[in-house]
Amino acid sequence: MSLAQRVGKNGIGWLLPALVIAGWEAASRAGVMPASVLPAPSAVAEAFWRLTLSGELIRNIGVSTARALAGFAVGGSIGFALGLANGLSTLSRGLTDTTLQMIRNIPHLALIPLVILWFGIDEEAKLFLVALGVFFPIYVNTLLGIQSVDPQLVEMGRVYGMDRSALFFRVILPGALPAIFVGLRYALGIMWLTLIVAETISASSGLGYMAMQAREFLLIDVVVLSILIYALLGKLADSLARLLERLSLGWHPAFQNG
C-alpha cells in the first residue's frame, strides 16, 4: 500500500466527523440550533482555550487519568492474577470461580450508593468502582485465554522437556494473549465509563466534576467540551491497546499484512 493510499484510507474515517462539525457550526450560526441547547463548535473550542489557559482543564484531565489508571492497575492486576491462578490450577478455580461468577452478575454501578456510604466521596470510592469494573473483563478473558490454549501444544512442550516456567512463558501465556487483549480493550472502555459516572455523582475534582460544575453555572460549552474529552481519552486508550496488540501479536494471521 502506498503512502497516499494509506493516508486516504485513514483520512476517509475523519471525513464524516468533519462534515458533522461543519454542519453543526453552520446550523449554530444560522440560529437554527440555539446555544442553550448545543453551543457552536467554535464556542466549544473557545471554552477549550479558556480552560487550557487557566490550567483548569489540564489539572482535571490529570486527576481523572490518574484515577483511571490507578483503578485499572489495581483491578486489572488482581483480575489477571486470579485469571492465571484459576486457569492453571483446578483447585484454585474450584475454590473461587463460582463465587466470582456470582458477583459478576451484579452491575458494579449498582454498588454506588453502598460505595458512597463506605467511602464518602473520597478517592477510594472512585478507585474501588473502577477497579471492580475493570476486574471482571480481565479476569474472565485471562481465564478463557488460558483454558483455550491448545492442549496439543502443551503436550508437545512437555515431550520436549520444557519445565513449568518454560511451558508457561513459551506456550501458555502467548497462547492466552489474544484473549487477554480482548479483555484489556473491553476493560479500558469500562474504566472510562465507570469513572465518568463516579465523578459525575460524587467528586470534587476531575472531568466529571468539571462538567457538573459547568452545568450548575449553565456553561454548556464546558459540558460539551468535557464529553468530547472523554471521547478522546477513550479513543486514545483504545488506540494504545491496539498498538500494543499489534506489536505483541505479530505472529497472528489477523495482524499480518496490516
Partner 1 sequence: MTAASLTAARSFVATPGRPIGSVEGRRAFAFRHAGKRFGDKTVLDGIDLDVPAGQFLAVIGKSGCGKSTLLRLLAGLDRPTSGSLTFGVEEEGYSRTRFMFQEPRLLPWASVVENVEVGLTGIAIGTEARHRALDILGEVGLADRADEWPSVLSGGQKQRVALARALVGHPQILALDEPLGALDALTRIEMQQLLERIWIAQKFTAVLVTHDVAEAVALADRVVVISEGRIALDLDIPVERPRRRGSVELARLEGKILDRLFG
Min dist. Cβ of residue 26 to partner 1 (A): 50
* Interatomic CA distance for residues 36 and 27, integer angstroms: 13
Of the candidate residues 21, 45, 74, 153, the single one contacting partner 1 (CB under 8 A): 153
Buried b (16+ CB within 10 A) or exposed e, 73-112: ebbbebbbebbbbbbbeeeebeeeeeebeeeeeeebbebb
Of the candidate residues 55, 113, 253, 258, the single one contacting partner 1 (CB under 8 A): 253
Select from 42-50, 155-163, 194-202, 216-224 the region that touches partner 1 (CB under 8 A). 155-163
Angle at 16 between CA 25 and CA 39, to 5 degrees: 25
Residue 81 backbone phi and psi in degrees, to 5: -60, -45
29 binding partner 1? (CB under 8 A): no
Q: How many residues bind partner 1 (CB under 8 A)?
A: 22
Select from 71-79, 137-145, 217-225, 244-252 the region that touches partner 1 (CB under 8 A). 244-252
User: Given the complex with partner 1, which of 13 and 161 has the nearer CB atom?
Assistant: 161
* Interatomic CA distance for residues 169 and 149, integer angstroms: 12
Min dist. Cβ of residue 5 to partner 1 (A): 24
Select from 77-85, 91-99, 109-117, 150-158 the region that touches partner 1 (CB under 8 A). 150-158
> Residue 57 CB: number of other CB atoms within 10 A?
21
* Interatomic CA distance for residues 86 and 95, integer angstroms: 9
43 binding partner 1? (CB under 8 A): no
Of the candidate residues 4, 37, 102, 159, the single one contacting partner 1 (CB under 8 A): 159
User: Given the complex with partner 1, which of 13 and 253 has the nearer CB atom?
Assistant: 253
174 binding partner 1? (CB under 8 A): yes
* Interatomic CA distance for residues 149 and 55, integer angstroms: 49
* Interatomic CA distance for residues 33 and 5, integer angstroms: 37
Residues 84 and 168 sit within 8 Å (Cβ to Cβ): no
DSSP state of 182: H
Select from 46-54, 73-81, 116-124, 158-166 the region that touches partner 1 (CB under 8 A). 158-166
User: Given the complex with partner 1, which of 5 and 256 has the nearer CB atom?
Assistant: 256
179 binding partner 1? (CB under 8 A): no
Of the candidate residues 14, 34, 160, 216, the single one contacting partner 1 (CB under 8 A): 160
Min dist. Cβ of residue 137 to partner 1 (A): 23
Residues 145 and 177 sit within 8 Å (Cβ to Cβ): yes
Q: Which of 199, 186, 197 is nearest to 135 (CA)?
A: 186
182 binding partner 1? (CB under 8 A): no
Min dist. Cβ of residue 170 to partner 1 (A): 7
- What is the binding site for partner 1 (CB under 8 A)? 152-153, 155-162, 166, 170-171, 174-175, 177, 249-253, 256
